[in-house]
Amino acid sequence: MSNAEREADPETASGADRAIVIGHGEIAAGLVSAVDRITGRGDRFIPLSNGNLGTAEIEAMLREQLDATGARVVFTDLPAGSCNFAACRLLRERSDLLVVTGVNLPALLQFATRGEGGLAEAAAEAVARGSAAMRVLTGTGSARGH
Amino acid sequence: MAIELYRIDDRLIHGQVVVGWGQPLRVGFIVVVDDEVAASEWEQELYRMGVPPEMELYFASVNDAAERLDTWRRDQRPGILLTGDIDTMRRLVERAPSIQTVNLGGIHHRAGRAERLRYIYLTSEEERELRALASRGIDVTAQDVPSARPLPLRELLDGSAR
């Protein structure tokens, strides 16, 4: 798809439709890749890693990406992680920013396929879907292992 | 001694500390020694919000930490003490010479620093500060996570580690 076609396509994400996903190692890129494979809507997310960056550098990277993309939601992987603390520090200066921590694939899929509601509603729905998806499944016991 | 790890880590509380070290050591408390954080209710609340509820957090300035160190050491629970930079740890050990080991857990890239390990970048002044710590008899090693080999300071600074 050319850039002109992409801009004209109402399904293509831009600005506040997009969200940043940031976490340890390659988790963000992996999650976004999976969203794209499942829904074709990987472009709704900007994946970032904390890499070998210090706290101030992570915060600066987030600030730069928020400004560059117009995103107003940040998904982070771990409540006690450096990415989450950096994102939460930005809440002090950005009243329209939302941070969602503990991200997983079902949460991102929900956000990627959300309806017309506002971002706060979409973020809450992502949390509900992501939380509900975690469960323990047990066998029926009818087949015995060797 | 209830404090199992004296760690220099510019991310202070983060995943490696809370989960990577915290779970295998069954850490019950973390002490953050940082003059700025100790003066900021907002920063303290931010960290409290992120860590699991069973993990207690203490925040202290360097002077306060030196006074309270023995109390934390008498705690029955294993603990971790963190500083965000080498200079803060140096000031702490000057006031609390009983600290015998220092872990380098994360000193990340910044202008003027050279890479020693993927998680340790140092200026020449910081290298001098680390050598000064070691010359006090402190065992200084680099180790980001428990499963990694603790790398002695000499190996780290001689560059033979890479």
Domain map (residue ranges) of chain B: 3-158
Question: Where is pLDDT greater, at A117 or B93?
Answer: B93
Query: What is chain B's percent helix, strand, coil content, to nearest 5?
Result: 40, 25, 35
- In this structure, the number of other CB atoms found within 10 A of the CB of residue A135 comes to 5
Q: Is B2 exposed, middle or buried (0-12, 13-18, 19+ CB in 10 A)?
A: middle
> A88, B49: Cβ pair inside 8 Å?
yes
Q: Return the CATH number of the domain spanning residue range A12-116.
A: 3.40.50.510
Residue in chain B closest to A54 (alpha carbons) equals: B108
Domain map (residue ranges) of chain A: 12-116
Strand residue runs (E) in chain A? 19-23, 45-49, 73-76, 98-101
> B15, A24: Cβ pair inside 8 Å?
yes
CA dihedral sign of residues A113, A114, A120, A121: negative
pTM of the predicted model as reported, rounded to 2 decimal places: 0.86
Best B107, B108, B121, B122 member to test A by mutation, with max A CBs in 10 Å, is B108
**With bands split at pLDDT 50, 70 and 90, how would you rate the model's confidence at A121?**
very high
Closest CA to B117 of B107, B132, B128: B107
Distance (Å, whole) CA B124 – CA A80: 32
Best B11, B27, B144 member to test A by mutation, with max A CBs in 10 Å, is B11
Give pLDDT tens digits for B138-153: 999 999 999 999 999 9
> B109, A52: Cβ pair inside 8 Å?
yes
Beta strands A19-23 and A45-49, pairing class:
parallel
Across chain B, what does the average pLDDT equal?
95
pLDDT score of A116: 83
> A82, B11: Cβ pair inside 8 Å?
yes
Across the range B72-100, mean pLDDT stands at 97
- Helix axis angle, A27-39 to A105-112, nearest 10°: 50
Chain A interface includes B44 (CB < 8 A)? no
| Residue carrying structure tokens 């930079």 | B85
* CATH number, domain B3-158, options 3.40.50.920, 3.30.559.10, 3.40.35.10, 3.40.50.11810: 3.40.35.10
A115 phi and psi angles, rounded to 5 deg: -90, -145
> A88, B14: Cβ pair inside 8 Å?
no
Give pLDDT tens digits for A15-57: 778 999 999 999 999 999 999 999 999 999 999 999 988 889 9
